[in-house]
């Protein structure tokens, strides 16, 4: 008996086969390891990448022995290169956006009558990158698996609250699309009653964790060509 699934491709994998998504039939009971083998048969050009390719099943990371259920949405992507809002006791705002970042607005979203401190981290596109040999970067092209990215950003926030209970508000926003050198790309903001509540450490954890588990990738474009930047972190079961 067969199982028809939807397969999504991201970042360099999408470029290699020139396809965003497709539907394929796989044998019932196929696990992730077997699925990767089938993908290699269908798209031989991907075979060199499959050892490090990550898989998600219905927007949760999948591992070799996980069985792919009927009608699943399965995504293939390289290691991460690295919304909603509310007025609860712990205000939050999570987003994957194309527009410019407004840091004042983000802080306002997580400010309450109890707020006495906020820490904001923002990353930017470097004009000169020191990775390997120093080289110029004209722009970055960011891409995200949107629905899963927002869910994983929410998970990052929950992890922050678990580790730093004094942190009240959290805003995490990642920009996607074509971003020139000098442009802010991501913002992590944490608010609390006092500066000694862990807001500095929480914001640092937020950006580090985002680059580990949130499915966002970037292509670096410069005068010498272009390259997709892949991370090295491989998510574990439960992440």
174 and 104 in a common domain: yes
Assigned domain for 171 exists: yes
Q: Which of 47, 77, 107 is the last residue of a domain?
A: 77
Q: Give the model's pLDDT for residue 207.
A: 96
pLDDT digits 0-9 by tens, 66-113:
999 999 999 999 887 653 344 446 898 999 999 999 999 999 999 989
Q: What's the average model confidence in pLDDT over 194-218?
A: 95
Q: What's the average model confidence in pLDDT over 222-227?
A: 90
Assigned domain for 193 exists: yes
Among 44-53, 124-133, 170-179, 193-202, the minimum mean pLDDT is found in 124-133
Q: Give the model's pLDDT for residue 230.
A: 79
Q: In the predicted model, what is the mean pLDDT of the chain? A: 90
Q: What residues make up the domain containing 6? A: 2-77
185 and 100 in a common domain: yes
Single pTM value for the model: 0.72
Q: Give the model's pLDDT for residue 234.
A: 82
Contact, 99 vs 83, CB < 8 A? no
**Confidence band, pLDDT 50/70/90 cuts, at residue 236:** confident
213 and 132 in a common domain: yes
**Confidence band, pLDDT 50/70/90 cuts, at residue 133:** confident
Q: Give the model's pLDDT for residue 6.
A: 96
Q: Which of 77, 100, 119 is the last residue of a domain?
A: 77
**Which run of H or of E encompasses 218?**
strand 216-222
Assigned domain for 87 exists: no
Q: Give the model's pLDDT for residue 208.
A: 96
Assigned domain for 165 exists: yes
Assigned domain for 234 exists: no
Among 7-11, 133-137, 157-161, 202-206, the minimum mean pLDDT is found in 133-137
Q: Give the model's pLDDT for residue 5.
A: 95
Contact, 95 vs 28, CB < 8 A? no
210 and 129 in a common domain: yes
CATH number of the domain to which 41 belongs: 3.10.20.30
Contact, 53 vs 74, CB < 8 A? no
Number of domains into which the chain is organized: 2
Q: Give the model's pLDDT for residue 89.
A: 61
Q: Give the model's pLDDT for residue 131.
A: 66
216 and 113 in a common domain: yes
More confident residue, 130 or 151: 151
Q: Give the model's pLDDT for residue 211.
A: 93
Q: Give the model's pLDDT for residue 132.
A: 67
Contact, 86 vs 175, CB < 8 A? no
162 and 192 in a common domain: yes
**Confidence band, pLDDT 50/70/90 cuts, at residue 120:** very high
225 and 107 in a common domain: yes
Q: Which of 77, 104, 122 is the last residue of a domain?
A: 77
Assigned domain for 14 exists: yes
220 and 126 in a common domain: yes
Q: Give the model's pLDDT for residue 129.
A: 77
Assigned domain for 109 exists: yes
- Residue 48 clears pLDDT 90, i.e. is over it: no
111 and 68 in a common domain: no
Q: Give the model's pLDDT for residue 94.
A: 93
CATH number of the domain to which 205 belongs: 3.90.1170.40
Q: Give the model's pLDDT for residue 124.
A: 94
């Amino acid at each position: 008996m067969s199982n028809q699934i939807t397969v999504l491709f991201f970042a360099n994998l999408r470029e290699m086969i020139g396809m965003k998504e497709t539907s394929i039939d796989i044998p019932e009971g196929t696990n992730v390891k077997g699925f990767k083998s089938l993908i290699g048969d269908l798209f031989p050009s991907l075979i060199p990448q499959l050892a490090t390719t990550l898989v998600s099943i219905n927007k949760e990371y999948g591992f070799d022995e996980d069985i792919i259920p009927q009608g699943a949405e399965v995504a293939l992507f390289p290691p991460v290169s690295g919304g909603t809002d509310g007025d609860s006791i712990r205000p939050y705002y999570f987003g994957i956006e194309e527009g410019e970042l407004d840091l004042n607005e983000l802080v306002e979203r997580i400010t309450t009558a109890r707020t006495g401190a906020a820490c904001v981290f923002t990353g930017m596109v470097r004009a000169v990158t020191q990775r390997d040999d120093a080289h110029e970067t004209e722009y970055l092209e960011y891409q995200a698996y949107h629905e899963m990215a927002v869910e994983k950003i929410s998970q990052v926030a929950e992890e922050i609250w678990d580790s730093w209970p004094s942190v009240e508000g959290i805003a995490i926003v990642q920009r996607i699309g074509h971003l020139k050198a000098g442009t802010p790309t991501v913002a992590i903001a944490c608010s609390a009653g006092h500066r000694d509540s862990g807001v500095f450490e929480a914001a640092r954890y937020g950006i580090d964790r985002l680059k580990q588990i949130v499915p966002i990738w970037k292509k670096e474009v410069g005068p010498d060509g272009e390259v997709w930047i892949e991370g090295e972190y491989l998510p574990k079961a439960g992440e």
